Amino acid sequence: MSTLLVVMCGTSCIGAVAGGIGAFSLVRQQSLLGDAISHAALPGIATMFLYTQSTDPFVLMIGGGIAGCIGALLVMYIMRVTALKRDALLGIILSVFFGFGLVLKTIIQKRGIAHQAILGKFFFGNASTLLWGDIYMMLGVGVCLSVVLAALWHRFVLISFDRAHAHVLGFRVGVLDVVLTGMTVVAIVMGLHAVGVLLMSALLISPAAAMRQWTNSFVTLFWGAVLLGAASAAGGSYISSLGRNIPTGPVVVIVASCAVVISLLFGAQRGVLRGLSEVRYD
C-alpha cells in the first residue's frame, strides 16, 4: 500500500509540473519539444554515467538536463539562422542525439552488463522503484520552477502570446525564451527516470490540450492543466496497480489521452459536438 502511495505521489508531482509547463508549450506551438528533449537527454545521461560512474538518478539527471538544453538551444539557434523549420530540427535533434546515446550505450555495455540496465530504465522509467527521497527531490525541483514561474509570470505569458509586443516594450525576449525553454527541459528531465521518455512527452501535451477545449483563459488553462496532469498520473498509477504486471507508463498515457478525447468531443469552448449543435449563420 505504501509503495502505491509513493508511486501515486511521485507521478502526480511529475504530472502537475509537466502539465503546467505544457500549457506554455501548447500556446507557443512547441508541443513536440517535449518528445525531442526526452530522447535527446539519453546521451547526456550516458556521458554523465561514464564520467562519474555513479548510478544516482539525480546526478544522471543533470547530464540529461545539459544534453536537453544543448538540443533545445541548437533548435532555437538553427531556426533563427536558416530556413529550416522547427519540425525538421526537432526530428534531427531527437534522432541524432538518441543515436549518439545508443553508441554510448554500447560503450557502457562493454564495461559490464549490470551498468547498461541503468539506461534501459530511462526508456520506460521505473515508477515502482520510486522512494520518498525521490519524491522530496521532485517536490524541491517543482518548488524552484514554481518560484521562477511566479516571478516571471507576466513576461512569460507576454512572450508566449505576442513576441513582437514584448520586444517593442523592451523585454529581453531572447533571454526569456531561453529561460522558459530551460524550465521545460528541467520539467521533462526530472520525470524521465521515474516514468520514462514516452510518458513525459505525453504528459507535457495531453493535459494542456484537454484543458484548451474547455476554456479561453490562459490562467484557467494553466491551473487546469496542472490539476489534470496530477489527476491523470495518479489515476493511471492506481489503475495499473490493480492488475498484475501492468506497466504504469502506458496506462497513464492512455488515461491522459482519454481525457483529451473526451475534451475534444464535449469541450465547452471548442468541442466538436458543441460545434455541431450550434447554428451557423455563415
Partner 1 sequence: MISVYVIVLAVACLVAVVCALPGTFLVVRGVALMSDAISHSVLLGIALFFLLTRSLDSPLLLVGAALAGVATVVATETIITTRCLRQDAAIGIVFPLFFSCGVLLISLFARDVHLDVDMVVLGEILFTPFHRLHLFGIDCGPYALWTLAGVLGLNLIFIVACYKELVLALFDGAYAHVTGFRPKLLYYVLMLCVSVTAVAAFDSVGSVVVVALMVTPAATAYLLADRLHVMLATSIGCALFAAVAGWWCAHIADVSVAGAIATTSGVLFLAVLCCAPRRGLFAHMLYRQEMRKERTLAIVAKYLAHHANKGVTDYAVARDLGWPLRRVRWARDRLSVQ
Residue 247: CB minimum distance to partner 1, A: 5
Does residue 271 touch partner 1 according to CB under 8 A? yes
Does residue 184 touch partner 1 according to CB under 8 A? no
Cα(152)–Cα(218) distance, rounded to whole angstroms?
15
Cα(271)–Cα(276) distance, rounded to whole angstroms?
9
Hey, what amino acid is at 70? Answer: I
Q: Which is nearer to partner 1, 159 or 252 (CB)?
A: 252
Positive or negative, the Cα torsion across 260, 150, 145, 66?
Answer: positive
HSE, side-chain direction, 13 A CA sphere, residue 170: 0
Cα(9)–Cα(52) distance, rounded to whole angstroms?
30
Cα(125)–Cα(112) distance, rounded to whole angstroms?
21
Does residue 88 touch partner 1 according to CB under 8 A? yes
Size (the chain), residues? 282
Does residue 128 touch partner 1 according to CB under 8 A? no
Per-residue x/- mask for partner 1, residues 238 to 267, rule CB under 8 A? -------xxx-xxx-xx--x--x---x--x
Q: Which is nearer to partner 1, 126 or 135 (CB)?
A: 126
- Choosing from 202, 225, 226, 234, the residue that interacts with partner 1 (CB under 8 A) is 202
The Cβ of residue 94 has, within 10 Å, a number of other Cβ atoms equal to 21
Q: Which is nearer to partner 1, 98 or 171 (CB)?
A: 98
- Choosing from 102, 139, 152, 239, the residue that interacts with partner 1 (CB under 8 A) is 102
Alpha helices in the chain (DSSP H): 2-27, 33-52, 57-81, 86-109, 113-124, 132-151, 153-161, 163-169, 173-195, 197-212, 218-242, 248-266, 272-277
Q: Which is nearer to partner 1, 137 or 264 (CB)?
A: 264
Positive or negative, the Cα torsion across 188, 256, 76, 143?
Answer: negative
Cα(86)–Cα(260) distance, rounded to whole angstroms?
24
Q: Which is nearer to partner 1, 12 or 38 (CB)?
A: 38
Enumerate residues 38-77 that contact partner 1 by CB under 8 A.
39
Does residue 129 touch partner 1 according to CB under 8 A? no
Q: Which is nearer to partner 1, 49 or 97 (CB)?
A: 97
Q: Are 13 and 135 in contact (CB under 8 A)?
A: yes
| Cα Rg of the chain, angstroms | 19
Does residue 120 touch partner 1 according to CB under 8 A? yes
- Choosing from 53, 55, 106, 217, the residue that interacts with partner 1 (CB under 8 A) is 106
- Choosing from 1, 2, 81, 281, the residue that interacts with partner 1 (CB under 8 A) is 81
Q: Which stretch binds partner 1 (CB under 8 A): 10-18, 85-93, 126-134, 136-144?
A: 85-93
- Choosing from 121, 212, 228, 241, the residue that interacts with partner 1 (CB under 8 A) is 212
Rule CB under 8 A: which residues touch partner 1?
26, 29-32, 34-35, 39, 78, 81-85, 87-92, 94-107, 110, 120, 123-124, 198-199, 201-202, 204-206, 209, 212-213, 245-247, 249-251, 253-254, 257, 260, 264, 267, 270-272, 275
